[in-house]
């Protein structure tokens, strides 16, 4: 793959004493609540079919897990080889390819390098490795989340309106976004079994599906992941 060099001038660097740190101390944070151990009803298995399926699922889970782990190791090794080449090949260029190609005969994979970076809270470390030039290209990023379920319903629209006005006043209206859905209350999950028949609950499920998964990795408190 060939890329064209560019003689375009890089963005001007404005030296600064340090990176701007935004004080978020006034925003409340909550510690995760401890999860109590749970018990679950056991699925009947009169003919052994359930046990057979469980054994098959867990056996295949282990096989997939082993293959996935080995695959990630190989990818990591290839990235480690590709990264120095990527930086060396594009040194001094403004037009930078998004990937580099790795081949084995007629077989091909690409190692991509996207414009996405994991952040750090250590601004001193950033300046240590980038010098004064880095202060022009790094800034603090943050997200504010509002749990609408905890806002009194009578005050919700007024609070939202005030937020919109506040952000608009500071020319930051585009920073606000909202996602609205209709979902059952917490009480519905238990009450549905007495309010509706099994057939009715199946029809409800077609509209508002209940979350379901096969859990194979069980941890403390009976929690797990798919």
Looking at residue 148, its pLDDT comes to 84
- The pLDDT tens digits for 122-132 are 989 998 989 88
Strands 99-104 and 224-225: unpaired
Task: Give the residue-averaged pLDDT of 103-128.
Answer: 91
List, for residues 41-92, the tens digit of each pLDDT value. Answer: 999 999 999 999 999 999 999 999 999 999 999 999 999 999 999 999 999 9
Mean pLDDT of the chain: 84
- pLDDT on residue 102: 97
Is the model more confident about 24 or about 179?
A: 179
Return d(Cα 38, Cα 221) in angstroms, integer. 6
Nearest one of 73, 75, 97, 94 to 85, comparing CA atoms: 97
The ranges assigned to domains in the chain are: 48-116, 181-212
Pairwise CA distance, residues 193 & 6, whole Å = 67
3-class secondary structure, 121: coil
pLDDT for 6 equals 45
């Amino acid at each position: 793959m060939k890329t064209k060099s560019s003689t375009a001038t890089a963005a001007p660097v404005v030296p600064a004493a340090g990176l701007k740190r935004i004080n978020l101390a006034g925003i409340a944070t909550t510690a995760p609540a401890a999860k109590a151990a749970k018990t679950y009803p056991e699925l009947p298995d009169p003919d052994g079919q359930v046990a057979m399926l469980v054994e098959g699922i867990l056996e295949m889970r282990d096989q997939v897990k082993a293959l996935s782990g080995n695959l990630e190791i190989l990818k990591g090794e290839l990235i480690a080889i590709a990264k120095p080449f990527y930086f060396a090949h594009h040194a001094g260029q403004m037009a930078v390819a998004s990937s580099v190609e790795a081949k084995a005969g007629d077989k091909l994979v690409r190692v991509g390098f996207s414009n996405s970076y994991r952040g750090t809270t250590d601004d001193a470390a950033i300046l240590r490795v980038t010098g004064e030039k880095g202060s022009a290209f790094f800034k603090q990023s943050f997200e504010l989340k509002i749990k609408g379920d905890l806002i009194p319903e009578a005050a919700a629209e007024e609070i939202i309106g005030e937020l919109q006005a506040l952000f608009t006043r500071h020319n930051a209206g585009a920073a606000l976004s909202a996602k609205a859905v209709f979902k059952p209350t917490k009480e519905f999950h238990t009450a549905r079994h007495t309010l509706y028949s099994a057939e009715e609950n199946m029809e409800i499920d077609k509209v508002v599906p209940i979350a379901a998964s096969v859990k194979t990795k069980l941890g403390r408190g009976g929690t797990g992941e798919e």
